[in-house]
Amino acid sequence: MTSFCIVLSGRGSNMEALADAVRDGRLDARVEFVASDAPDAPGLEKAHRRGIDTVVLPYASEGKENAERRLSGLCSARGVEWIVLAGFMRILSPEFVTAHAGRIVNIHPSLLPSFPGRDGIGDAWRFGVAVTGVTIHLVDAGIDSGRILAQRAVEIFPEDSLENLEEKIHTTEHALYWKTLSELFRTGVPAERRWRR
Ligand code: GRF
């Protein structure tokens, strides 16, 4: 069975959606552990309550290089095949990305390449676009720039608020991430560009 880890920094709603998909058998894979750079990330506590192993990566105490070394070490010790980022707010070093090339996946709350960066939802909202969405992509050394695996559009209507847009984006994320991973784990990275909706 494919095994993966989830790396997050905050709330962990995507982690929960993935853990639910695993629990219900929609995603045929195993969550080896959930890691976070933030010891107080609510997502860590949520994972712990589900009986998933949790790890704090020592970014604050030991720096990025050691924190990444710890993550790499855990992945090889636990046979982790895929590193799934779900709200991880740090940038991985080019060395880490190269060492795990094509094996790191991220979810971003906009239709990339529009609105990369920390606030994809707010940036799209403030720009005034009529359509934004969700992107799932492989991680490369750039910021939100890796190969796109799946996208789904979310329309913004005049009656929407930023809060309500955030809700629509997150609901879309929760529906799309497990499906995309399920296909990725079964068939690998597609040889040709192929879009999932
Ligand atoms: C999501 O919107 C994800 O796209 C972005 O960070 C957010 C994390 O939310 N990368 P959560 O922690 O999964 O609730």
- List the CATH number of the domain containing 22: 3.40.50.170
Number of structural domains found in the chain? 1
pLDDT-derived band at 190 (thresholds 50, 70, 90) equals confident
Query: What would the two tokens of residue 187 be?
Result: 């068939």
To test ligand 1's pocket by mutation, which of 40, 107, 114 has the most ligand atoms within 8 angstroms of CB?
A: 107
CB atoms within 10 A of CB 188: 9
- pTM metric for this prediction: 0.96
Establish if 137 belongs to a structural domain.
no
Sequence-distant (6+) residues with CB within 8 A of 162 are: 121, 122, 125
Task: Please give the sequence-ordered ranges of beta strands (E in DSSP) within 37-186, or none if there are none.
Answer: 54-56, 82-85, 104-108, 131-138, 148-155
Catalytic residue chosen out of the listed positions 108, 137, 170, 174: 108
Establish if 24 belongs to a structural domain.
yes
Distance 86 CA to ligand 1 centre (A): 6
Check pocket membership of 10 for ligand 1, CB cut-off 6 A.
Answer: yes
Check pocket membership of 144 for ligand 1, CB cut-off 6 A.
Answer: no
Establish if 25 belongs to a structural domain.
yes
Average pLDDT over residues 21-34: 98
Q: Is the pLDDT score of 192 beyond 90?
A: no
Is 48 annotated as catalytic?
A: no
Establish if 68 belongs to a structural domain.
yes
What is the model's pLDDT at position 84? 99
**3-state secondary structure (DSSP) of residue 17:** helix
Residue 151 in contact with residue 135, Cβ under 8 Å? yes
How does pLDDT run across 117-150, given as a tens digit for each residue? 999 999 999 999 999 999 999 999 998 889 999 9
Establish if 195 belongs to a structural domain.
no
Average pLDDT over residues 160-188: 97
Establish if 76 belongs to a structural domain.
yes
Establish if 20 belongs to a structural domain.
yes
- The residue written with tokens 């009529």 in the block is 130
- The residue written with tokens 């629990």 in the block is 23
> In the 8-state DSSP scheme, what is residue 80?
-
pLDDT-derived band at 196 (thresholds 50, 70, 90) equals low
Domain ranges, residue 83: 1-101
Establish if 140 belongs to a structural domain.
no
